[in-house]
Amino acid sequence: MKILGIETTGSHMGACLWDDFRVRADKSFIDKAPRSPRLMSALDGVFSKASFGPHELDALAVDIGPGRFTGIRLGVSAARTLAQTLQKPLVEMTSLEVLAAEGSGWQTGKSFVWNFSEDMVCVLMDALRGDVYMAVWRFHKLTEKSRRGVPSGRSYHTFSHHFKLVHAPTLFGFDRFLHFFQSCFQAQSLLFVGSAAARYKKELSKAFGSRARFRPDVLDPKPHWVAALGSEKFFRREIKSFTQVRPLYLRPSYAEENAAKLPIYPNPVLTRA
């Protein structure tokens, strides 16, 4: 199963080729100003390292957001263009989902092994101006029956087999999120990941005490995880055509917000008419 993953929504931009449950080639870079030439260079780089070409791909996977507006548009446009040109299906995922997969401890190079000790994983991405992008997944532990022959706390199933989405990606003010989250999850143990989890670690630790754990190394989505999730979703046939994939914007861009604040003057031509 050959998948090309494209990631451009955060500071880690790039591409990853995934085949037979492992990375075949990975080219990423840190860039705070998304630019098309660098992404094209990354795409050329991964195929130069691989033993197969673009036409041998089974599908393409792309992170549709939320995240940086320019980056989202760049990645989705590139994925749609390649999918149309190569006549390949597309697999889409959110940046929050990509971070959840990495934070979950999914050991993608070791036959999908898990050892997850919390009840839930909460992804918090910094949306600036006191806002956060948030999504939550619940971990489904193995039953005693399904545990037979499997080491304690481990499973060889895929991410979505064990982690079920319980709150879809949403934009919250952080204070509102904290009030909502405390009222909804009063007993569960929680793993927080993402850039906003790092930014608000003090407040989250105070609110949830010993029930909260953090992964400070999981801040931005990476191409590796887009490709890994893309492989899993393709296996489940969660695919779309290039015409069906759209960027996920959970808030207007700054330009749109500023334009909405401008006064509206009457059209003099229409007024005279």
Structural domains in the chain, sorted by start: 2-94+220-252 (3.30.420.40), 97-214 (3.30.420.200)
- Predicted pLDDT at 91: 98
pLDDT band at 123 (very low <50, low <70, confident <90, very high): very high
Report the predicted TM-score, pTM, of the whole model to 2 decimal places: 0.87
- Predicted pLDDT at 156: 53
36 Cβ contact list (under 8 Å, min separation 6): 74, 78
Task: State what percent of residues in the chain have pLDDT above 90.
Answer: 68
Q: What is the mean pLDDT of the chain?
A: 87
pLDDT tens digits, one per residue of 144-180: 455 455 555 455 567 888 899 999 999 999 999 999 9
CA 119 to chain centroid:
20
| Cα distance between the two ends of the chain | 65
pLDDT tens digits, one per residue of 59-100: 999 999 999 999 999 999 999 999 999 999 999 999 999 999
Helix residue ranges per DSSP H, the chain: 36-49, 69-86, 95-103, 144-147, 159-162, 174-184, 195-199, 201-208, 223-235, 254-261, 268-272
Please provide the size of the chain in residues.
273
Q: Are 72 and 249 in contact (CB under 8 A)?
A: yes
**DSSP bridge partners of 22:** 19
- Predicted pLDDT at 181: 93
* Whether residue 66 has a cis bond before it, omega within 30° of 0: yes
- Predicted pLDDT at 144: 47
- Predicted pLDDT at 118: 93
Mean pLDDT, residues 29-56 taken together: 88
Q: Are 232 and 159 in contact (CB under 8 A)?
A: yes
pLDDT tens digits, one per residue of 203-259: 999 999 999 999 999 999 999 999 999 999 999 999 999 999 999 999 875 555 555
Write out the two tokens for 169.
């990606």
Alpha-carbon distance 190 to 213, whole Å? 6
